[in-house]
Structure 1
């Protein structure tokens, strides 16, 4: 199929959601989940608009979605999971047999099957459907009284919590987050929960800076405010830890100047494949540069933080659409002037 035809078929498939659980192929060792709600991620938008997300290119129609929650319809015999339970579904499906998985680094599994991803062929179908079949290990139960629209933030929050784990102890630290989109804002909330003393956010968008303040930032600054940002470079750098969540080449390069000697930079934003970077300054200041990719056990931690109210993600929720309006939802989510996080409701 041609690329445009594949994208069109992905959009068309969004309207053809099954309402009958028996139409799914659900093995005896799988859990059948009726999806209640799901959040639209940047990768969903890229597949919708361009037929690819980074190096993952659509070769066949694929169901989108990897941030979703639902209710168990059927569970394997002998499982601790029971019909009727509400669960957040972890979209990660590592092999659990490679050296990375066996050493507790499942997020680095080279054959990771991630729901709603075109990395492999056949593609791994996502969770924007009325019913999905998943493994018991992917299901994290949560309390009936918890709000599904909050728990649906578990996957992006897990990404943020993994990033703060990559940063080390944040208690009393001065933190900068460049890029105040949903992930950046959840990093701010997580850093605040982890004891950071000061959290400064940057973003070119005034709307995003306002969200950053709502999510725990002490200050939110336009990166074009040179009088302010130049002060961050005095005496070798102001911040103990910088989280780069935008992926913008200029932002990535700027973090070295803002980070104090012996500080740490955590890179989350997926940017260009190559860019100019002040490696010499990084070296002479002995700054540690750490990548942060997806999550490991942080998914369950995220569910518990959301369930307990330790993190309130609702300032990021811009709109909700019923499943039949998925195209409208994707179009709104694509406009960063209008939306931070858009959710779909099912059923």
Structure 2
């Protein structure tokens, strides 16, 4: 079966277009009709800079890894035509040492939607139709709100970060940087039993969203003092750094109590003067958090069952044919948190 489709494509020199393509389904995997997609920071980096880190766009590539859709055809007995599914953008190899240890996010040959890590690049989900492995399809009830369900991937990132922190029941939590991921971490740790959640950001708009997503106290480091939380070797049991800014890394170490845990979620460059002695002397456990494993299924369940409401983060919706306008708006952080494309 061959289907003509339209895809949101980025090419060299940061140009984007909606191109017509033909895809083929050979009775293998699952053919999906994409209904909605969320624009992520990596999509913006590809559009604004033509790369994410060291991975530059060398050929036209379809963007998007936060997508949901409907089953058109499938070879899986566990799926059926017309079924609504969230699409896990991860495609691990299944046989490396990490996959065999249920640590699939560390797969040595991970194929992740919309990534220029490999050449040829791995196309993403901003396309009207896409064929995926059946295992990448996580069903959800047809009556669930599409606007909510498309948050499955970023929520999975947040839940994984929360799990990396360990037991959150009754814990005092600090989150530095409350873009969409930081806000979703606030909701995740609240759901998992955190007793107190303090969020810090230099954006009043972001802080306002954090309040709607579960924060108890809001702090703007440009105006508010954090000194009280730094006394006696720190106050918080757990901190999450979700901005990637060097000063934010230092702040998290300062306010985390001795023997506490800091989870690094934000992606940034080098921290020139990393406070190594503070980390050592306070015996802080520093953990990285990268993507997710089983948390994708958890995120779909939470959203379908209205455990959390991510809609305060939805800033705008655009038809997928207005891709460039959507990317421009999403890149304006004075206005936008999450922007969704409708297919």
TM-score range, shorter chain: over 0.9
By percentage of residues, which structure has more strand?
Answer: 2
Match of 2:5 in 1: none
Residues 237-316 of structure 1 mapped to structure 2, 5 A cutoff: 237-316=234-313
Could you tell me how far 1:275 is from its partner in structure 2? 2.7
CA contact (8 A) 1:253 1:276 kept: no
Aligned to 2:84: 86
Deviation, 1:226, is: 4.8
> Cα–Cα, structure 1 residues 128 and 79, in superposed 2: closer, same or farther, change >3 Å?
same
Q: What SS does the corresponding residue of 1:137 show, helix, strand or coil?
A: helix
Aligned to 1:33: 32
Who is 2:141 aligned against?
143
Partner of 1:328 in structure 2? 325
**Unaligned ranges ≥5, structure 2:** 1-9
Instruction: Compare the two structures and name the one with the higher helix fraction.
Output: 1
Does the aligned pair in 1 maintain the 2:105–2:291 contact within 8 Å? Answer: yes
Does structure 2 retain, via aligned residues, the 8 Å contact 1:38–1:127?
A: yes
CA deviation after TM superposition for structure 1 residue 58, in Å: 0.6
Q: Which residue of 2 aligns with 1:61?
A: 60
Q: Offset at 1:26?
A: 2.5
Paired residue for 1:154, among 145, 149, 152?
152
Q: Aligned equivalents of 2:173 and 2:54: distance in 1? A: 31
Counterparts of 1:189 and 1:120 in 2: how far apart (Å)?
34
Give the superposition deviation at 1:254: 1.4
Q: In 1, are the aligned partners of 2:330 and 2:339 still within 8 Å (CA)?
A: yes
Cα RMSD of the aligned pairs, angstroms, is: 1.2
1:204 and 1:128 map into 2 onto residues whose CA distance is 32
Deviations 1:186-209 (A, max 9, x none): 000001000100000010000000
Question: Using a 3 Å threshold, how does the CA distance of structure 1 residues 31 and 5 change in structure 2: closer, same or farther?
Answer: closer
CA distance 1:273–1:79, shift in 2 (3 Å):
farther
Match of 1:95 among 93, 96, 121: 93
The SS at the match of 2:178 is: coil
Q: Deviations along 1:218-273, whole A, 9 cap, x unmatched? A: 0111012353x011100110100000000011001111110001100000000113
Q: Cα distance, 1:17 vs. partner?
A: 4.8
CA distance in 1, matches of 2:341, 2:294: 26
Aligned counterpart, 2:41: 42
Say if 1:239 and 1:259, in contact at 8 Å, map to a contact too. Answer: yes
CA distance in 2, matches of 1:160, 1:282: 24
Unaligned runs of 5+ in 1: none
Does the C-alpha gap of structure 1 residues 5 and 171 become closer, same or farther in structure 2, counting only changes over 3 Å?
Answer: closer
Report 1:197-216 matches (<5 A): 197-216=195-214
Answer yes or no: is the 8 Å Cα contact 2:36–2:150 preserved in 1. Answer: yes
**For 2:32 and 2:117, how far apart are their aligned partners in 1?**
24
Provide the C-alpha distance between the structure 2 equivalents of 1:254 and 1:184, rounded to a whole number of angstroms: 15
In 2 relative to 1, CA 176–8 (structure 1 residues): closer, same or farther, beyond 3 Å?
A: closer
Query: Which contiguous aligned blocks of 4+ residues in structure 1 show a shift greater than 6 angstroms?
Result: none
Q: Is the 8 A contact 1:17 1:129 kept in 2?
A: no
Which one is further off, 47-56 or 199-208?
Answer: 47-56
Q: CA separation in 2, counterparts of 1:142 and 1:275?
A: 45
- 1:343 is matched with which residue: 320, 331, 340? 340
Report SS of the residue matched to 1:209.
helix
Q: Which residue of 2 aligns with 1:184?
A: 182
Alignment check: 8 A CA contact 2:11 2:61 kept: no
In the TM superposition, what is the alpha-carbon distance from 1:5 to its structure 2 partner? 6.0
Question: TM (normalized to structure 2)?
Answer: 0.95
Which of residues 100, 104, 107 in structure 1 aligns to 2:105?
A: 107
Aligned residues: 334
In structure 1, C-alpha distance between the alignment counterparts of 2:328 and 2:11, rounded to whole Å: 18
Q: Distance in 2 between matches of 1:189 and 1:305?
A: 11
